[in-house]
Chain A
Amino acid sequence: MSEIIPIGPYHPLQEEPEFFRLHVEGEKVVKLDIDIGYNHRGIEKLAESKSWDQVVFLLERICGICSTSHPAASVRAMEDLAEIEAPDRAQFIRTVICELERIHSHLLWLGLAGHFLGYNTVWMWAWKYRETVCDIFEKITGNRQSYAMFKAGGVRRDFQEGDIPWIRSCLEGLKPAVDMFRGAVMDDPVIHARTKGIGVLTPQQAKAYCVVGPIARASGIAIDVRKDDPYFAYDRVQFNSIVLQEGDVFARAAVRILETAESMHIIEQCLRQMKPGPVDLHVKALPPGEGIGRAEAPRGEVFHFIVSDGSNFPVRYKVRAPSYVNIFSNEAACVHYDVADAALILAAMDPCYCCSERMVAIDMDSGRSRLSGNDLLRLSHEKTEKIRNRMPAI
């Protein structure tokens, strides 16, 4: 008979409350139910009462980690509707902001994944290096998060003189750190043992669940909005879209680590190619019609659909964040694996999910709690430790 382990929905450390019901038989997960909606903020409805200019600020508050992805898709949708293109310099600035965000988001995830595995050094180091990126944001936008840089037709602030060499020197310092992570994480036999072949999402499942971003690319599906539907300055820079075939937790981690290096490469090219010039078209109004905007957020494609009647307010604002499709695929990725792996598989989707200490196993007959959240995190750490002890001395 299966037991049910409820996970979530709330925890102060996670930004997205979700509720997972793991059905387990012994150590194996046999089924997963997912509930969302605990923090539904009605942003689509709220957007209808904001002017086009204000909408961008509202959308920036959808996600606290990849806060610029939604404004990126939003200004693309508005520019698609009005059939305009922002000036060149603005496009380069937007690209730099988007890629800096990818670096800090991936480092944040890497730190959390390290913590789930019991590698707290990876956690501390990843978050230490992420600080450098937040410092860059603070200097060039005034904010460490929610940068308020994007608007239809351009950006709100130009880079100041001296910013470009400074960003360059910061990135130079970050490069050895990312290289170190690549070695420390991707060559570690214990991490291999804990993550390879775990939480596999086959290409067929990835297609059926319509997953996006690193989850799709780790399952061999080569989709990347930056390549497929180039926007901002992505058609003027060289970069590799990282695609792996295995579809397991390791592949998802590898995609993100390798992408971080690509992002730095993109930023360098943008800084080199940027020329002085205007950064804003000063758009006064949007015409009636429909517009679609897409952007590749760190977690995958963000999709916005807007309807305008020519007034200053949207008639309809539809947002599809990448976690909306990625989280649903946990239903397939968690089944047949150990409970000790569940926290890691759920975290590998990167829904900013870190509420494993809310996990409680309940005995279905008595209704009493048998396993606390900390116990499950401990199970994961113990499994790592067991594997580590079995390995010959490294």
Chain B
Amino acid sequence: MKWSQIEHALRKEFGPKILKWTVHNKKRIYVDIDRVQLVSFSRFLFETLQARFIIASGLDTPRNGIEILYHFDFLHLPQVLSLRVFIGKPDLAVDSIAAVIKGAEWIEREIAELLGIRFINHPNPAHLILPEDWPEGVYPLRRDS
């Protein structure tokens, strides 16, 4: 599949649900979506377009919320597509994509404990890298901690 076909398929499927489409350069594309679209967008990428989930990264922003980027790539293509989801405070929760993409299970657990995001319907929301006796409500990657 060519990149132009992937872009076309995404625009056709999601159209106005894509809030912003930023081309940093021809290999790095950032797509902003609303958090309610996350699971259907990820499912379309992973199952229909056969994308590979690379990892997610969270960032505590000065805009009173946390931003999560879900990075995907495609077989034999140089492009990395990063899905950007903004989660405004105080309701720091988003649907888990681990039911669709098994490989996302660990990183969601990691983001949950480092940034304090609640992943709704996560299959195993246990501690991953912080100790079991880590104090509740302390999130190392939060700006206010």
Number of interface residues of B (CB under 8 A): 34
Contact: B75 with A223, CB < 8 Å? yes
**Is B52 positioned at the interface, with any CB of A under 8 Å from its CB?**
yes
Interface string of B46-57 (1 = CB under 8 A from A): 000000111101
Residue numbers in B under 8 Å from A60 (CB-CB)? none
Bound-complex Cα distance A134 to B132 (A): 40
Contact: A292 with B80, CB < 8 Å? yes
Q: Chain A's interface: helix, strand, loop or mixed, by majority?
A: mixed
Indicate the member of A210, A228, A303 with the most B CB atoms within 10 Å. A210
Bound-complex Cα distance A42 to B69 (A): 20
Q: Chain B's interface: helix, strand, loop or mixed, by majority?
A: mixed
Q: Which of A186-194, A318-326, A346-354 contacts B (4 or more CB under 8 A)?
A: A318-326
Distance between A42 CB and nearest chain B CB, rounded to angstroms: 7
**Is B140 positioned at the interface, with any CB of A under 8 Å from its CB?**
yes
Contact: A37 with B52, CB < 8 Å? no
Bound-complex Cα distance A26 to B30 (A): 51
**Is B2 positioned at the interface, with any CB of A under 8 Å from its CB?**
no
Bound-complex Cα distance A83 to B26 (A): 12
CB-based nearest B residue for A227: B76
Bound-complex Cα distance A325 to B101 (A): 12
Contact: A40 with B57, CB < 8 Å? no
**Is A278 positioned at the interface, with any CB of B under 8 Å from its CB?**
no
Contact: B141 with A45, CB < 8 Å? yes
**Is B4 positioned at the interface, with any CB of A under 8 Å from its CB?**
no
Residue numbers in B under 8 Å from A210 (CB-CB)? 52-54, 101-104
Distance between B18 CB and nearest chain A CB, rounded to angstroms: 18
Residue numbers in A under 8 Å from B96 (CB-CB)? none
List A residues 299-317 near B (Cβ within 8 Å). Answer: 301, 303, 305, 307, 315-316
Bound-complex Cα distance A294 to B25 (A): 15
Bound-complex Cα distance A211 to B102 (A): 11
Residue numbers in A under 8 Å from B1 (CB-CB)? none
Residue numbers in B under 8 Å from A163 (CB-CB)? none
Distance between B24 CB and nearest chain A CB, rounded to angstroms: 7
Residue numbers in A under 8 Å from B30 (CB-CB)? 290
**Is A209 positioned at the interface, with any CB of B under 8 Å from its CB?**
yes
Write the residues of chain B forming the contact surface with A, with a CB cutoff of 8 angstroms: 24-25, 27-28, 30, 52-55, 57, 59, 69, 71, 73, 75-78, 80, 82, 101-107, 127-131, 140-141
- Inter-chain pairs besides A209-B102, A210-B102, A229-B78, 4 sampled, C-beta below 8 Å: A37-B129, A230-B78, A324-B107, A325-B103
> Could you show 22 A-B contacts with beta carbons less than 8 Å apart?
A36-B129, A80-B25, A208-B102, A209-B102, A209-B103, A210-B52, A210-B104, A228-B73, A228-B76, A228-B78, A229-B73, A229-B78, A230-B78, A290-B24, A305-B71, A315-B59, A316-B57, A316-B59, A318-B55, A318-B57, A325-B55, A325-B106
